[in-house]
Amino acid sequence: MPGSDPRHPGDRYPKPPYPQQDDDHPGDTARMEPRPDHGEESYRGSGRLTGRRAVVTGGDSGIGRAVALAFAREGADVLVTHLDEEEHEARETVRLVTEAGRRGVAVPCDIRAEEQCQALVDRAVAEFGGVDVLVNNAAYQMAQPESIEGITTEQFDRVVHTNLYGMFWLSKKVLPHMPAGGSIINTTSVQAYHPSPHLLDYAMTKGAIVTFTKGLAQALVERGIRVNAVAPGPVWTPLIPATLPDTESFGEQAPLGRAAQPAEMAPAYVFLASDEASYITAEIVNATGGTPLP
């Protein structure tokens, strides 16, 4: 778990204003200022996921990298997905996993394609023999100041296929290989409850993820598989300078006065994947820096 820090939680990490920075999608961790914290120096495992086999989509950077690192330090083998252009980021995630003494595998996968989702599950089964934890984390967003008029059909399709189709296909295809006691964890967002007009299509999909999580959880109770989600607030990841026009004030709207670091999200995923959450399913863990959600 993260080490003890007696400071006010709002003061643990840098606050806005951040330097204005812009990057091409999907962004690059090395070019970000301040550099995101994935828990490299702070996360300490305690064997909560010993022997588990995990798949984390979008595990090359941001929340996905922090989750992969935490899972590995808790004793899990981890397969992460990445887009072709994110291979260098994924190599760093795998390095962190193997440095923790666990098996790390990086697989290029565009989850917008059903056949690639099937191939991903097949690869995970070939590598690990099965999957105990699936983290549906990969997502796409692009800000549109003009709101709905600025959202092209091409963008809408990419957002929906990445955020919803991929999650649906992977959840469906992993089930034959997930034993009782398994866990599916989806990444939704504060946007599901407080949608920003400039992220209309993205927010719509995050609301759908909440509904999907609650419905699938009920459908899988008899199989002994739990389904939950994490709803982050603003988190400092490469997606931010790559998709939002204003990075200087990012996160200042949160009651804690700053964006979260990826390392602050990972413990929620560890908890939901662990036996400590054995009586928890169909729930959304809100990690919003104090923004109240329903």
Residue 226 Cα distances to 106, 205, 231, 291, angstroms: 25, 21, 17, 26
Half-sphere exposure of 252 (CA within 13 A, CB side): 9
Q: Give the Cβ contact number of residue 110 at 10 Å.
A: 17
Peptide bond preceding 2 in cis form (omega within 30 of 0): no
Would you call 202 a catalytic residue per the annotation? yes
As beta bridge partners, residue 227 has 184
The answer to whether 36 and 236 are in contact (CB under 8 A) is yes
Peptide bond preceding 241 in cis form (omega within 30 of 0): no
Structure tokens at 154: 């091409």
Q: Which of 43, 140, 202, 269 is catalytic?
A: 202
| Torsion (CA) 76, 65, 271, 49 in degrees, nearest 10 | 10
| 183 contact partners, CB below 8 Å, separation of at least 6 | 132, 133, 134, 225, 226, 227, 228, 272, 273, 277
Nearest Cα residue to 141 out of 59, 269, 222, 238 = 238
How far apart CA 128 and CA 286 sit, in angstroms, is: 31
End-to-end CA distance of the chain: 28
How far apart CA 105 and CA 281 sit, in angstroms, is: 28
Catalytic residues: 202
